[in-house]
Amino acid sequence: MRILIPSIQVPFISGGSTLMTVGLKDALVRAGHQVEIVTIPFKFSPHSYVSDLIDIWKKQDFNNFNGYKIDRVIVLQFPAFYVKHDNKILWLMHQHRSMYELFPKKATKDDEILREKVTLNDTQELRKCSKRFSMCENVSNRLQKYNSLSSIPVYHPPAYEESFYCEESYDYIFYPSRLEELKRQDLLIEAMKYTKTEVCVIIAGDGGQKQNYQNLIISNKLEKKVKLVGFISQKEKETYYARSLGVFFAPFDEDYGYITLEAMLSSKPVITCIDSGGPLEFVENEKTGFVVDPDPKEIAKKIDWLYLHKKEAKKLGENGLKSYKNKNISWDTVVKKLLG
């Protein structure tokens, strides 16, 4: 079949959305289909730009292109999921989160106008999809809550799934992610004020909160306990995972969270929080890791526990790998479910 994947591109920002989109294309190609990704640039402001993009995507008819009949369209994200096609399949990555669960408490009139347009169009257009899937239960729950639309969660593996491995642990907790407010690296940094063991923390990644986090480390005199190592390569990330005592991943209401899966593939226990969203679909408290309140003191207790109970910590990591394998997470499964 000829399949198109409409998508958006945010210049100079590449993350989970890019990996998911490219991963889907590659899986469909391996299954014998002709596949192209069609993109339009996206930026988050001003509201008028976002509003105009809604109208632009709604005008795109993907049934035919230059004489080529398109058999399927698989849509993943706002506002690309508005395109027209007679057999449009939704595999929802996320909606425009700032108009839903992240809507500002002190909203302006313009915020309210855009939210009304987004929610109305999402509900109308996504209802037309021939099939509706999502990448996880958390995303399905949001779609049901805000738009009264059902969808079936379908998990997919992280990139380089086969490359993750486990080695004897060193005395550090690892957290690789963009340094952004929603990722809450500050919770981990603050927790290190309360640890009583010789454990330390390695935080990898770059982002808008880098200087704030560096200042937090310095102001609390944690330079010997917390290291920001910046951007690292895929190979370096795999090594950091393999040798870690455990992984901390406690963002606020995450969509999915590759870090959880990467940690499980590396046989490492995960510390997450009760409000972290996607990771809660994988982390089982006291079986594959810990689920705690977003409280630095509570986090510190679990970090110290991993240090003081390394044999048990290793068992939690092994349980995580078994749990991952039992979920049958694969691109073959994704393709079969999306295309039927």
Q: What is the 3-state secondary structure (H, E, C) of 235-284?
A: HHHHHHHHHCCEEECCCCCECCCHHHHHHHHCCCCEEEECCCEHHHHCCC
Confidence band of 252 (pLDDT split at 50, 70, 90)? very high
Q: What is the CATH number of the domain that holds 58?
A: 3.40.50.2000
Query: Does any domain span residue 22?
Result: yes
The pLDDT, as a whole number, for residue 15 is 72
Task: Quote the pTM value.
Answer: 0.92
Q: Residue 14 — pLDDT band, cuts 50, 70, 90?
A: low
What is the rounded CA–CA span in Å between residue 6 and residue 210?
32
Mean pLDDT calculated for residue range 136-156:
96
Output 261 or 64, whichever has higher pLDDT.
Answer: 261
Which of 135, 154, 173 is where one domain is finished? Answer: 154
Mean pLDDT of the chain: 95
CB 6 within 8 A of CB 60: yes
Q: For residue 337, is it within any domain?
A: no
The CB density around residue 217, as the number of other CB atoms within 10 Å, is 21
Instruction: Provide the domain limits for residue 10.
Output: 2-154
Nearest to 267 by CA among 314, 235, 201, 309: 314
In a domain, 259, yes or no: yes
Q: Give 65's pLDDT tier (boundaries 50, 70, 90).
A: confident
Query: How many domains in the chain?
Result: 2
pLDDT (tens digit per residue) in 74-112: 999 999 999 999 999 999 998 998 888 888 889 899 999
Could you read off the pLDDT of 189-209 as tens digits, one per residue?
Answer: 999 999 999 999 999 999 999
Same domain, 130 and 209: no
Does residue 68 fall inside a structural domain? yes
Give the position of tokens 């009760």.
274
Asked which of 154, 169, 190 is the last residue of a domain, the reply is: 154
Least confident residue range of 41-50, 128-137, 261-270: 41-50
- Average pLDDT of the residues in 172-176: 97
